[in-house]
Each structure stands twice: as C-alpha cells, then as structure tokens.
C-alpha cells in the first residue's frame, strides 16, 4: 500500500502529508482553461516499455525472496503464492475516465515485458477487480491510505465484513484466485495511475517494499511510481513455469538461480551490490519525517535518519533520501541549511548513476527554486533541462510540469519571454494529468511565480 506520495515541493510551497503503515496497501493563469481539463485528463505520455537497466542475478535472487516472503509490516509468509493460469482483469463501474486507459497500458506492458497471460475482461467479476472509490471511503476503512489491495473479496463492502478474519489474511493464502484493488476515484489522474501500478502489481506478486531498492516501485520512498524494468523482471520470475503456488522459501530459493540465468542472461556476469538491509529505526524515522505532525518531531526524526545513514557508512540513495527528508522540513525556516542538504542529497543520488536519476530530478526542482529566488536564472536553466528529460522518461507528469514552470520562470528572468510562454503552455498538458484540478494548477503556478525576485519585490 502506498504510504505517502513523494512531495513535489518548491521553496514557497507546502508538501503533502503522509499515509498509513498497516495493510497492503501552469502556464499563465489565463492558459488554464477549466473546460479543457476533462479532455486532457488522459495519460499524455506515449506508450512504451520500461527503461532497461542491468541487474546482477545474485541481487535479483535475494530481492525476489525478500519481496515475496514477507509483508510490509515484517510478517513472514510461509509459502509462495501467485495466480495459476490466465489472469482476467475488470474495472468496477463507475470509474474515472483515465483509469481504463491506464489499465490497458499496464496490461499491455505486463504481457510484453513480464510475459504474463493476463487480459482485460468486461465481465463484472474477474481474478483482479479494480474499484475506484472516494478517498474518504478508503479512509473510512484504512485511515490516511491512498489505496490498497485485498485478497478474496470482490467489493469494498465484502472487505469491510471480512477484515481481520482468515478469509483476507495474506499469510493464509495457498494460491491467488480473487483480488480487489481499491484506488481513489477523486484523485488526480496520475495519483490514480500510481496507485494502480503499485496495488495491481502487489495483487500479482510481491507484497513487501524494500528501501534498499533504488530502481523499483517496491520501495516506500515512492520515487518510482510506474513499474520499472526491475519490477517487470521480478514479476516475470514469479510467473516462470519452474515456480508454483505453495512452494516454500527454500524451494523457491533453489529454483531462482536457473530462472534468472534464463530470463536475464547478462545478469550472470554482473557483480552483486550486496547492499545492507535497512534497519527498522531508519524506516521508522523516515516515515515520521515524511508524514504529518509537529515540525519539531519531524525534524528530530529526519536528523535521526541522517545520523543512522552516516553511521552505517551508506553512500547510496538511502543517504540521499535522508538528506532530502531533512531539507524539506528546513526549507521554509533555514534556507541556507536546506539548500546545503539538497546538494548533499543530490551528490548521494548521483553516486548511484542512472538508477537514481529520477531521485536527482526531484532534488533539481528544489535547488532550482533556490537559484530562482536569488535571481540565478542561468544556473537554474542548466539544472532543469536534464531533470525535465528525466521526468518525462519516467512518466511523472506532476514533477515534469513543476520543472517546466520553474524553467519558464527562469526563461522570463533571462528575457526569453516567448520561450517562457511556450513552455508554460506545454506544461499545462502534463499538469492537468499530474495535478488534476484547475485549483491545483493555479496554486502551483502562483508558488513558482512568486519565486521571481523581480515580481516578488514589485508585489
């Protein structure tokens, strides 16, 4: 289950609150035409495969076992489970207009990249049923949850009745037959899609999230919100003919080396990263820092996460994320320290190469906002161009539109008013998908517009 949406903050903007820790779960203002928002709510990204990366098969074996034999809350699972046979999928009506389109895209990728025998069905019942329900309804079942998945139910009312019983116990499953995915009907189209990717993939396979994974949707940092090539590799292995539901951890572990040697031959010659497991104390502090609550408590938690990461000698994305969490708390009270921390986060992310380029794109928006507030428009432009390309590659419309609006403001500051207007106009296509409501677009535009020191000083 999605714990929190990674906040796309800017210097003067507020960040999103966090979520639960239990079940699986603009252009110029006049360019924002509310009447067009419905037509532009569909996914504007071209359909494509995930960006291929290289993975060590030794790492894949370890990650597969840890993802499939433990729940997010630490509960060990006694056996491996999956769907046996073709997998049918349906959407319960009514649903947001973008949901069917994004589900069709997802099914196509699962068929081509993970080799799953999965298909869309118009029948009212299917192996996996996707339900779009109001956020307040989801909260009435699991407070603060963005979305969740449940086994052996076909509706939210059935889940309410069975919750807490063996009927919906993940550890009691012997095979997967019926799953229900619950996503928000009133969220921005991108948020609905992000929930769909995470919860749908958990309906199919892994029920755990691992902070040590830097290129995966199975990570509670929620940087990646669309299934990556790593995730597809894990799902492809899960549905390999050599495995079956009911196998023990030891039985699965014995089969995995030959499975990955067959489906990922180049991974045989790649050295493993052997990244250390993430201690519980770091997880708890990061989740507290990224959630709601008193700023002082969140700052204490974020600093604790940084201290744990440093003592552990990490130089990976978890160290960068620790700096990021602390910086976002400080950014409205201690600009100089926050900017320093964002640069430290960026350095940590860059040490991991292209696997953490999306992490760097998030930080680029933060650092660029500091540059703009000081009138360093040229420095901001240098930073934003590669970040914009990265956000587009990873289909993050909310991040992409924010970066484009920052770029437009920088172009205005350097006298490139025609290009600035064109970039703002282009950003609205992504913003409507990423942020949903016109009100959200206005807020994003106003916050970024206010970074310009000339406009700010002129009132």
For the stretch 228-276, pLDDT in tens is 999 999 999 999 999 999 999 999 999 999 999 999 999 999 999 989 9
**Predicted confidence band of residue 445 (pLDDT cuts 50, 70, 90):** confident
Q: What's the average model confidence in pLDDT over 111-128?
A: 93
**pLDDT at residue 332, rounded to an integer:** 82
pLDDT at position 7? 56
User: Could you tell me which residue, 411 or 452, shows the higher pLDDT?
Assistant: 411
CB atoms within 10 A of CB 444: 23
Report the C-alpha gap between 153 and 264 in whole angstroms.
Answer: 35
- HSE-CB at 447 with a 13 A cutoff on CA atoms is 20
Give the chain's mean pLDDT: 89
As beta bridge partners, residue 130 has 91, 181
Rounded to two decimals, the pTM is: 0.90
pLDDT tens figures, 307-316: 999 999 999 9
**Which region among 6-20, 21-35, 39-53 has the lowest average model confidence (pLDDT)?**
21-35
C-alpha closest to that of 151 among 134, 135, 174: 174
Q: What is the pLDDT of residue 11?
A: 47
> Residue 34 — very low, low, confident or very high, per pLDDT cuts 50/70/90?
very low
Phi/psi-derived region of residue 293, left when phi > 0, alpha when psi is between -120 and 50, beta in every other case: left
Domains within the chain, CATH numbers bracketed:
41-269 (3.40.390.10), 280-457 (1.25.40.10)
- Is the pLDDT at 459 greater than 60, yes or no? no
pLDDT reported for residue 440:
74
């Amino acid at each position: 289950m999605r714990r929190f949406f990674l906040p796309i903050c800017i210097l003067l903007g507020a960040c999103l609150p966090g979520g639960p820790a239990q079940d699986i779960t603009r252009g110029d203002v006049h360019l924002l035409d509310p009447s067009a928002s419905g037509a532009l709510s569909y996914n504007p990204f071209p359909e494509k495969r995930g960006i291929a990366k290289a993975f060590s098969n030794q790492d894949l074996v370890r990650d597969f076992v840890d993802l499939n034999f433990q729940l997010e809350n630490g509960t060990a699972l006694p056996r491996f489970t999956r769907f046996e046979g073709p997998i049918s999928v349906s959407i319960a009506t009514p649903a947001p207009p973008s949901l069917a389109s994004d589900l069709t895209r997802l099914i196509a990728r699962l068929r081509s990249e993970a080799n799953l025998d999965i298909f869309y069905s118009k029948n009212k019942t299917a192996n996996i049923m996707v339900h779009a329900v109001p956020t307040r309804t989801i909260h009435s079942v699991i407070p603060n949850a963005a979305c969740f998945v449940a086994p052996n139910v076909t509706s939210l009312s059935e889940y309410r009745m069975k919750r807490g019983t063996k009927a919906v116990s993940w550890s009691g499953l012997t095979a997967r037959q019926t799953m229900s995915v619950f996503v928000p009907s009133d969220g921005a189209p991108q948020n609905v899609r992000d929930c769909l990717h995470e919860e749908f993939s958990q309906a199919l396979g892994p029920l755990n999230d691992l902070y040590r994974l830097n290129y995966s949707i199975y990570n509670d940092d929620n940087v990646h919100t669309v299934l990556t090539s790593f995730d597809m590799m894990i799902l492809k292995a899960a549905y390999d003919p050599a495995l079956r539901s009911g196998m023990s951890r030891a039985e699965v572990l014995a089969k995995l080396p030959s499975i990955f040697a067959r489906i990922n031959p180049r991974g045989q010659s790649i050295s493993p990263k052997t990244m250390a497991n993430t201690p519980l104390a770091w997880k708890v502090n990061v989740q507290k820092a990224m959630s709601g609550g008193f700023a002082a408590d969140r700052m204490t938690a974020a600093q604790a996460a940084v201290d744990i990461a440093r003592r552990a000698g990490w130089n990976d994305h978890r160290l960068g994320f620790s700096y990021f969490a602390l910086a976002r708390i400080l950014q409205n009270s201690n600009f100089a320290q926050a900017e320093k921390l964002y640069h430290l986060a960026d350095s940590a992310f860059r040490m991991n190469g292209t696997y953490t380029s999306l992490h760097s794109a998030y930080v680029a928006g933060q650092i660029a906002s500091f540059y703009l507030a000081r009138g360093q428009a040229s420095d901001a432009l240098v930073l934003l161009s590669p970040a914009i390309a990265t956000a587009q590659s990873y289909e993050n419309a909310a991040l992409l539109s924010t970066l484009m609006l920052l770029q437009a403001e920088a172009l205005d500051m350097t006298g490139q008013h025609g290009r600035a207007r064109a970039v703002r106009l282009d950003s609205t296509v992504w913003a409507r998908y990423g942020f949903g409501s016109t009100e959200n677009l206005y807020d994003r535009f106003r916050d970024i517009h206010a970074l310009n020191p000339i406009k700010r000083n002129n009132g």
